[in-house]
Amino acid sequence: MALAFDEMNIPGGDLRPAYQELARWLKETPPEALEYRRQEAELLFRRIGITFAVYGESESTERLIPFDVIPRIMSGKEWTLLEKGLKQRVRALNMFLRDIYHGRDILRAGIVPEDLIFQNPVFRPEMNGQQVPHDVYVHIAGIDIIRVDAEDFIVLEDNARTPSGVSYMLENREIMMRLFPDLFARHRVAPVERYPDELLSALRSVAPNSASGEPTVALLTPGVYNSAYYEHSFLADKLGIELVEGRDLIVKNNEVFMRTTEGVKRVDVIYRRVDDDYLDPLTFRPDSALGVPGLMSAYAAGNITLANAVGTGIADDKAIYSYMPEIVKFYLGEEPILKNVQTWRCREPKDLAYVLDHLGDLVVKEVHGSGGYGMLIGPAATKATIEAFREKLKREPEGFIAQPTLALSTCPTCTASGLAPRHVDLRPFVLTGSKTTTIVPGGLTRVALKEGSLVVNSSQGGGTKDTWILDE
């Protein structure tokens, strides 16, 4: 595996320009002062109650995501390039989703294999021919980005269903501003606080034509036992909209209403954090107690906007991901600005043969996996694990893709033995409304806190950092 790209230090001892002021500040700050503020940050997070639930654990399931107080810093120039690439990619994703549920030009052109779509468990035949307001399918995208050198940003994953983590981006910034005003004073950091306003504006802009006056937006949560419930209540509060569960909504004459203390009120846009399967027991899983009976009829009638649209899971699929460079070229006639990680599709015999021969060097992921579960990191795996995975791959090759083990870039991070480089990724949040696409400068930086670890997921022991984009 190649040497990791250090985002702060240039080989030879020089500092990258974006980090020069931070380096000066760190020299002036005694380690005990830094440690004191780190503990203070942890206390604040506990007090606010930012936790996430871990499923399948018998003991305490509420965990605090570790927060690292050293910001990750990027120059405005780097951000401009990344922003351009993100907008291009999300535009192509929206066009792809519209196409596979309507004309299917990309399938007729032979660019994406039909069975990858039609035999995919997250493809929703109910959406065939269904118009969605303003042709926007992915209103909120979380695109996971990694760096391996100074020039390129590489997309690791597209999250087009219900991307989470934005509450941490906002809370991380708030806590950093409270604890490190002196460090902020030495930088011109682009603000992220306008995210809730941008999100509300994007959601209102995609309301159905039948909405009257100012559209009513509500956030649909599966409830308090969901791992991201803190984020749901946080966002509803920041947006100034109602947080509702399925039982709070009713469908009458193909319109959706929420129960309020003053009677029922029509809802025009639902920012839903409930998976497709559970949205409407009359259309999907009949045993779902989280959904709203009749919701899909109101959707088909064009009286409600669901953000994100039903059926976007196909764009999260890791096998579809491997076709993204071709998808961008097909719909936009442009070269992709953001690269993909080289990907072997285990469903293809030639690729499978290569993967089976090189299992010890590769990362193998489930096509529908998430949260860092169900994956093999070859170089860190035991022989027994590799052999067990080999059998799995032979049994069900279409369920997996493989990628090289990339050396994710590193950033300085507080550890028990002082500052040390740790691997990071970045999840910027891309908002698409009826006319504009906006991205607040930054995103959620996730950091692998264990030395040498490449797994940044909070469910696997990763932490988060504030991401600073310098206004230049």
pTM listed for this prediction: 0.94
Q: Show me where the domains of the chain are located.
A: 209-303, 343-405
With a cut of 70, say whether residue 138 has pLDDT above it: yes
Distance CA 78, CA 190 (A): 13
Instruction: Give the whole-number percent of the chain exceeding pLDDT 70.
Output: 95
* 121 neighbors 293 (Cβ within 8 angstroms): no
Alpha carbon of 385 to those of 360, 364, 371, 373, 378: distances in Å? 10, 12, 19, 14, 9
Q: Which two tokens stand for residue 216?
A: 């009513």
Minimal CA–CA distance to 443: which of 25, 79, 160? 79
Query: Distance of alpha carbon 165 from its chain centroid, rounded?
Result: 7
Confirm if 216 and 244 have CB atoms less than 8 A apart.
Answer: no
Strand partners, 72: 467
* Mean pLDDT computed over 372-401: 88
Angle, helices 166-179 vs 195-205, to 10°: value is 150
Rounded CA separation 371/384 (Å): 23
Q: What integer pLDDT is reported at residue 325 of this predicted model?
A: 97
Same fold, 209-303 and 343-405: no
Residue type (1 letter), 183: L
CATH entry, 209-303, from 3.30.70.370, 3.30.1490.190, 1.10.10.60, 3.40.50.11290: 3.40.50.11290
Residue 442 phi, psi (nearest 5): 135, -140
Write out pLDDT tens, residues 224-254.
Answer: 988 889 899 999 999 999 999 999 999 999 9
Grade residue 57 by pLDDT with cuts at 50, 70 and 90.
Answer: very low
Under the banding of pLDDT at 50, 70 and 90, the label for residue 51 is low
Overall fold of domain 343-405: Dna Ligase; domain 1 (3.30.1490)
CA neighbours within 13 Å on the CB side: how many for 319? Answer: 24
Classify strands 410-415 and 418-427 as parallel, antiparallel or unpaired. antiparallel
Nearest CA to 427 among 100, 198, 173, 144? 144
Q: How far is CA 66 from CA 175, 437, 445, in A?
A: 13, 31, 12
Cα(276)–Cα(266) distance, integer angstroms = 22
- The residue-averaged pLDDT of 402-425 equals 90
What's the pLDDT tens digit per position in 122-134? Answer: 999 999 999 999 9
pLDDT at 50 over 80: no
Tokens of 423: 């691997």
